[in-house]
Amino acid sequence: MIPHQKRSWAEPFKIKMVELLKMTTPAQRRKAIKEAGYNTFLLRSEDVYIDLLTDSGTSAMSDQQWAGLMLGDEAYAGSKNFYNLERSVKEHYGYKYLIPTHQGRGAENILSKVMIKKGDIIPGNMYFTTTRLHQELAGGTFADVIIDEAHDPTHPHPFKGNIDLDKLEKLIKKHGAARIPYVCVAVTVNMAGGQPVSMANMKEVRALTARHGIKVILDMTRIAENAFFIQQREKGYARRSVKSLVKEMCSYTDGATFSAKKDALVNIGGFLALNDEEKYQEASNMVVVYEGLHTYGGLAGRDMEAMAIGIAESVQDEHMKARIGQVLYLGDRLQQADIPIVTPVGGHGIFIDAKKFLPHLKQDQFPAQALAAELYLDAGIRTMERGIVSAGRNAKTGDHYYPKLELVRLTIPRRVYTQAHMDVIAESVANVYDRRDKITGLRMVWEPQYLRFFQARFQVL
């Protein structure tokens, strides 16, 4: 019986338009995944039932955002949508200078080119694929300074994205502040399972780096989700709005890269934001070379308008409660079925621990890649590998990196799927778990030079 006092949360929106999904047969899926080289990135989306590949660019825009598209001012220079976006960025994040880019990695490219010199070290809270690659292409080396708990899939630490201040201090002592152009703080930490950084940690990182004259740059791709976790988990912040927490976090930093395809509820877009005028001048010149003029950066006017509106929607408490509520709901369902997942559950999805799910496979048999293929075969649900394939190879030795975390990501697009979809996902994962002993590993038969997880091909062992 439902107790009388109980009040469930529900989405703070209703559905105006729907997109029909295609159901496939097991035989069709077997053919599709084989043709895709057992890489879910190479499947056609038409062959997918529930698409949990990524939360990037896959959100449903609001009617306000769609209306914003109609207000696109498609001038080459000085579009009014750029100024609307600039206003939205100042209001919500507080940064002085804005450079739009086509998406997050466009901003990472520009930032890395203007800030990193050959031989520099860039500390960060766990690597992210594109971020680290741009640092390396600019001649730098990434150094992981995340707390050890982040590498433990079930450690209960509420802020597993935190930076380990001792590790950071030691790194500064070893290399000297002059070789560290900035510390990159990602909120939340994607590869650790969408784990947040606490406000206390942000302040401590700011204090430590300030003593050494080192800048702090945010990867603020999922900052609103991070702020929601601060509100829910960190002492002293329960009464603060997500909006005010987002702005406070930015205030401890000197700039940010942003993939608006996540938090900001748009299908394309990003930016680089900076407070330093000189670096901004350099970056706004560089963006002309790689993206487009500094008032559009590879985006149409209408894209910038949708982004300006999406940023405002992303920091609403009700939105975030429903967004994270849905992810937590799926996490609960999977835990009830004894599926090994990363806990505490993070912001943008559920991460299955493939090492525990498939203990009979060695890491170089690509357990997470094999499990993602198997999940697709079961019910047409598309997920993504976040393990040894994503980690890539050490550029100097050519060996695989062997990350501690070997995960399959079930990423939840924002405002797209229903609770019933979450139930179907949980049932399918439980089904695969029941026959896990029969799942075999994979052999990599082709890999590209950069970001191999996107395009590598495999065969069943």
> Applying CB under 6 A, which part among 103-111, 162-170, 194-202, 242-250 lies near ligand F0G?
103-111
CB 119 within 8 A of CB 182: no
Q: How far is the CB of 96 from ligand F0G (least distance, A)?
A: 22
Q: What residues from 37 to 96 belong to the interface with ligand F0G (CB under 6 A)?
A: 54, 56
Tokens 């190479």 correspond to: 42
**Cis before residue 188, ω within 30 degrees of 0?**
yes
Q: What residues from 191 to 230 belong to the interface with ligand F0G (CB under 6 A)?
A: 219, 221
Beta bridge partner(s), residue 100: 271
**CB closer to ligand F0G, 103 vs 314:** 103
Find all residues with CB under 8 Å of 88, minimum gap 6, and list them. 307, 308, 309, 311, 312
**CB closer to ligand F0G, 128 vs 366:** 128
**CB closer to ligand F0G, 52 vs 373:** 52
**CB closer to ligand F0G, 234 vs 263:** 263
Name the residue type at position 329.
Answer: Y
> Applying CB under 6 A, which part among 99-107, 203-211, 298-306, 333-341 lies near ligand F0G?
99-107
Beta bridge partner(s), residue 195: 189
341 DSSP assignment? B
37 SS3 class: coil
Q: How far is the CB of 61 from ligand F0G (least distance, A)?
A: 16
CB 273 within 8 A of CB 324: no
Residue nearest to ligand F0G (CB): 104
Q: What residues from 244 to 303 belong to the interface with ligand F0G (CB under 6 A)?
A: 259, 261, 270
Instruction: Write out the catalytic residue numbers.
Output: 76, 128-129, 219, 262, 386, 453
CB 367 within 8 A of CB 355: yes
Looking only at the bridges linking them, the beta strands covering 97-101 and 270-274 are antiparallel
HSE-up of residue 187 (Cα within 13 Å, Cβ side): 28
Nearest alpha-carbon partner for 441 in 362, 378, 332: 362
CB 283 within 8 A of CB 99: yes
131 binds ligand F0G (CB under 6 A): yes
Applying CB under 6 A, among 186, 358, 372, 379 the residue interacting with ligand F0G is 186
Applying CB under 6 A, among 29, 92, 105, 452 the residue interacting with ligand F0G is 105
**CB closer to ligand F0G, 56 vs 162:** 56
The first and second tokens of residue 8, run together, are 């469930």
161 binds ligand F0G (CB under 6 A): no
Nearest alpha-carbon partner for 385 in 356, 361, 411: 411
> Applying CB under 6 A, which part among 98-106, 244-252, 369-377, 442-450 lies near ligand F0G?
98-106
**174 C-beta neighbours (distance < 10 Å), count:** 10
The first and second tokens of residue 183, run together, are 């510390």
Nearest alpha-carbon partner for 60 in 221, 220, 267, 263: 267
**CB closer to ligand F0G, 134 vs 433:** 134
**CB closer to ligand F0G, 86 vs 385:** 385
382 binds ligand F0G (CB under 6 A): no
**Cis before residue 12, ω within 30 degrees of 0?**
no
Applying CB under 6 A, among 103, 253, 295, 428 the residue interacting with ligand F0G is 103
Q: How far is the CB of 217 from ligand F0G (least distance, A)?
A: 12
Q: What residues from 316 to 355 belong to the interface with ligand F0G (CB under 6 A)?
A: none
> Applying CB under 6 A, which part among 15-23, 112-120, 126-134, 435-443 lies near ligand F0G?
126-134
Q: What is the size of the binding site for ligand F0G (CB under 6 A)?
A: 15
d(CA 264, CA 100) in angstroms, rounded, equals 14
Q: How far is the CB of 214 from ligand F0G (least distance, A)?
A: 21
Tokens 């290399």 correspond to: 175
Q: How far is the CB of 25 from ligand F0G (least distance, A)?
A: 28
Tokens 């940690």 correspond to: 201
**CB closer to ligand F0G, 54 vs 231:** 54
Which residues contribute to the site for ligand F0G (CB under 6 A)?
Answer: 54, 56, 103-105, 128, 130-131, 186, 190, 219, 221, 259, 261, 270
